[in-house]
């Protein structure tokens, strides 16, 4: 068991690396950004050219005048990322507005920690307008009051403008740029706010839950985990520009100082939670000294953030975050190899999150490109951690229960009574957890659109019914149902209308079943499947025809439209033999469905093997009443 968990843990980095490779785009070009009315969002970063001003003293006029001789270079990446640098970076791109509808475009910088971002919009006559932003300037000075650094560019239809961007920052030098038309931007921001609310809501809920557990149990791992969650919450909110927008908009200096402080607090929380959860002091005394030393260094770095240069502190804080990630990961592996029981689920849960954090930190140093998985590695990892860590806590409760039972056998009568009370409490907690897991499992088997069972339920139940039919040698039938011309309905009336049609067919299927042993499930898209144990050919055919006719008779109303649907139905029946594969019956039903489609749709077709299989059925199964 331990070896399997170790294998899973060490496979996780491979997963992230593979995902990273697939997320890296092709080399970018420096072609103009052509704006039209049909596209609302443009990823500008891949079309940037740049030049590095190591002295930081060149003016815009000098950069513009010397642009040809200095040689702007294409970025050749999905997002320019240069790690930590003291240079002043100049970027440029060209906009061609071929849209007759929009003249106002919003340029969004998706990395709020940049100190100074200056935009130079060059007019056709050579004049230019200057717009300034960055988190070193007061929030109220921003023309657009958003967490990201935004600029409004006015480009008349038919015009072409050169845009120069100058970035100077002590944070990581990266420039993810997106250009929006205003309606698309407003819609995207609403969607983003929902995702942000979900992400921070998960963190807040987990924080409150574990805080309550700590107050009720006084168990130190919960305290350290709560401390870590708070630091991580503040770090993410600061990184996303939310704290600067809502908590300290008039304190740009503190907005920059807070980031390495929260980063160090997160490293401290990870260190102490790992040490407490795995009981490092008891299980690995020598390793405990290293944890103590690292804790002191992290505290010193957090304190130094108040007076030390920001570039030094943010580098140290990021490096300590990497070390904390590697240290927790390595310690968990070591504890797992040594047989420390709580390390099993701990290792899986934390490795996912810490690997995501490691990818983000390496991106910050410029060692990895700025792509989706590196930009949002921490968020992805923390979301998965919420689920996996619940397993670690449940496993820890189980271990405590076993320990209490051992003490119970050795204790006196008085102690035995106290242990029994504690055991009942733990049993109640475990029962609640089991009930919650059972409810979650049942919820995962329901299709959210139609309310009937989903593909996961079908896979599980079909495997059970197949094995049962094989043991008892009775026929099992599958009825595959597919909505005719569904793509045309979607294309003509929209996906909402398609959803209404899918639900209508699902209601017909569910209402056509008569026996508790029969089940309907959404197989995928507009396709459904009925599992009919003990089904003879005549009864199953009658049921299939009933479904077809009821769908044909039903009128689907959507807005002011009345739609008439038809379905094609394929039937497969067989008595499973030990050498048969369960996929065979699915293939037969699917082949019959294909035949129904081929012959004109709105009909029921039965697989040609069905009669042969019925003849081979045992006497007990051959006499089953038709469905």
Distance set, CA 474 to CA 468, 536, 574, 580 (Å): 9, 10, 8, 14
Q: Map residue 571 onto helix, strand or coil.
A: strand
Strand order in the sheet with 41-43: 41-43, 177-181, 104-109, 149-154
Distance set, CA 218 to CA 348, 392, 424, 431 (Å): 25, 18, 19, 22
Degrees, nearest 5: CA angle 366-197-496: 110
Q: Is 402 a catalytic residue?
A: no
How far is the C-alpha of 624 from the C-alpha of 580, rounded, in Å? 22
Backbone phi, then psi, for 122, in 5-degree steps? -90, 125
How far is the C-alpha of 81 from the C-alpha of 85, rounded, in Å? 10
Residue-wise over 414-432: b if at least 16 C-beta within 10 A, else e? eeeeebeeebeebeeeeee
How far is the C-alpha of 29 from the C-alpha of 47, rounded, in Å? 5
R_g (Cα) of the chain, nearest Å:
31
CA atoms within 13 A on the CB side of 146: 20
How far is the C-alpha of 317 from the C-alpha of 337, rounded, in Å? 30
The number of angstroms, rounded, from the C-alpha of 386 to the middle of its chain's C-alpha atoms is 12
Active-site choice (108, 272, 526, 527): 526
Residue 624 · residue 474 · CB < 8 Å: yes
How far is the C-alpha of 149 from the C-alpha of 115, rounded, in Å? 10
How far is the C-alpha of 220 from the C-alpha of 416, rounded, in Å? 25
Residue 593 · residue 570 · CB < 8 Å: yes
**Own/partner long-range contacts of 244-247 (Cβ < 8 Å, ≥24 apart):** 244/112, 244/135, 244/139, 244/147, 245/139, 245/145, 245/146, 245/147
Length of the chain counted residue by residue: 627
Backbone phi, then psi, for 417, in 5-degree steps? -65, -45
72 token code pair = 């702007």
Residues in a beta bridge with 92? 49, 164
How far is the C-alpha of 229 from the C-alpha of 237, rounded, in Å? 12
Residue 76: which region, alpha, beta or left (left: phi > 0; alpha: psi -120 to 50)?
left
How far is the C-alpha of 272 from the C-alpha of 228, rounded, in Å? 9
Residue 179 · residue 106 · CB < 8 Å: yes
Which residue, chain included where needed, has tokens 């006196």? 412
Catalytic residues: 526
């Amino acid at each position: 068991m331990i070896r399997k968990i170790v294998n899973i843990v060490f496979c996780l980095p491979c997963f992230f690396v593979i995902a990273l490779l697939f997320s890296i785009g092709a080399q970018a070009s420096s072609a103009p950004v052509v704006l039209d009315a049909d596209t609302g969002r443009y990823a500008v970063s891949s079309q940037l050219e740049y030049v590095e001003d190591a002295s930081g003293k060149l003016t815009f006029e000098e950069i513009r005048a010397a642009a040809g001789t200095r040689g702007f270079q294409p970025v050749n990446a999905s997002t320019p990322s240069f790690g930590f640098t003291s240079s002043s970076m100049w970027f440029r791109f060209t906009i061609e507005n071929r849209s007759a509808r929009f003249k106002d475009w919003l340029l969004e910088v998706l990395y709020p920690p940049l100190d100074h971002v200056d935009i130079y919009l060059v007019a056709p006559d050579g004049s230019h307008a200057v717009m300034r932003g960055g988190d070193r300037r007061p929030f109220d000075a921003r023309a657009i009051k958003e967490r990201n650094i935004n600029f409004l560019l006015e480009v008349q239809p038919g015009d072409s403008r050169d845009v120069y961007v100058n970035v100077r920052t002590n944070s990581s030098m990266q420039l993810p740029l997106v250009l929006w038309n205003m309606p698309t931007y407003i819609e995207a921001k609403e969607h983003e706010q929902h995702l942000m609310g979900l992400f921070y809501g998960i963190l807040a809920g987990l924080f409150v839950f574990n805080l309550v557990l700590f107050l009720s149990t006084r168990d130190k791992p919960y305290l350290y985990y709560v401390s870590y969650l708070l630091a991580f919450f503040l770090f993410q909110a600061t990184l996303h520009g939310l704290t600067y927008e809502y908590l300290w908009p008039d304190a740009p200096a503190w907005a920059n100082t807070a980031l390495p402080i929260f980063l160090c607090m997160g490293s401290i929380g990870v260190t102490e939670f790992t040490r407490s959860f795995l009981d490092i002091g008891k299980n690995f005394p020598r390793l405990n000294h290293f944890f103590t030393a690292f804790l002191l260094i992290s505290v010193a770095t957090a304190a130094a953030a108040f007076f030390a240069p920001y570039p030094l502190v943010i580098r140290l804080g990021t490096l300590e975050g990497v070390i904390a990630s590697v240290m927790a990961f390595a310690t968990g592996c070591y504890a797992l190899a040594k047989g420390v029981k709580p390390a099993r689920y701990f290792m899986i849960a934390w490795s996912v999150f810490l690997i995501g954090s490691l990818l983000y930190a390496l991106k910050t140093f410029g060692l990895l490109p700025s792509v989706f998985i590196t930009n949002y590695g921490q968020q992805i990892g923390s979301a998965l951690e919420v689920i996996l860590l619940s397993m670690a806590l449940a496993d820890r409760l189980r271990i405590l229960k076993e320990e209490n039972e051992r003490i119970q056998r050795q204790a006196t009568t008085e102690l035995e009574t106290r242990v029994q009370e504690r055991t009942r409490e733990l049993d109640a907690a475990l029962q609640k957890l089991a009930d919650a897991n059972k409810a979650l499992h049942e919820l995962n088997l329901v299709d959210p659109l139609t309310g009937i069972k989903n593909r996961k339920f079908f896979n599980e139940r079909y495997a059970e019914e197949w094995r049962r039919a094989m043991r008892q040698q009775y026929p099992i039938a599958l009825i595959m149902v597919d909505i005719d011309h569904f793509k045309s309905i979607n294309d003509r009336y929209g996906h909402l209308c398609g959803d209404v049609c899918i639900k209508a067919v699902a209601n017909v299927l569910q209402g056509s079943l008569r026996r508790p042993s029969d089940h309907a499930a959404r197989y995928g898209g507009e396709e459904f499947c009925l599992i009919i144990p003990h089904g003879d050919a005549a009864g199953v055919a009658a049921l299939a025809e009933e479904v077809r006719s009821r769908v044909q008779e039903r009128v689907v109303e959507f807005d002011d439209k009345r739609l008439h649907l038809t379905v094609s139905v394929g039937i497969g029946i067989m008595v499973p033999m030990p050498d048969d594969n369960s996929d065979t019956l699915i293939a037969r039903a699917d082949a019959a469905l294909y035949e129904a489609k081929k012959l004109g749709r709105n009909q029921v077709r039965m697989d040609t093997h069905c009669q042969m299989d019925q003849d081979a059925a045992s006497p007990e199964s051959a006499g089953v009443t038709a469905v």
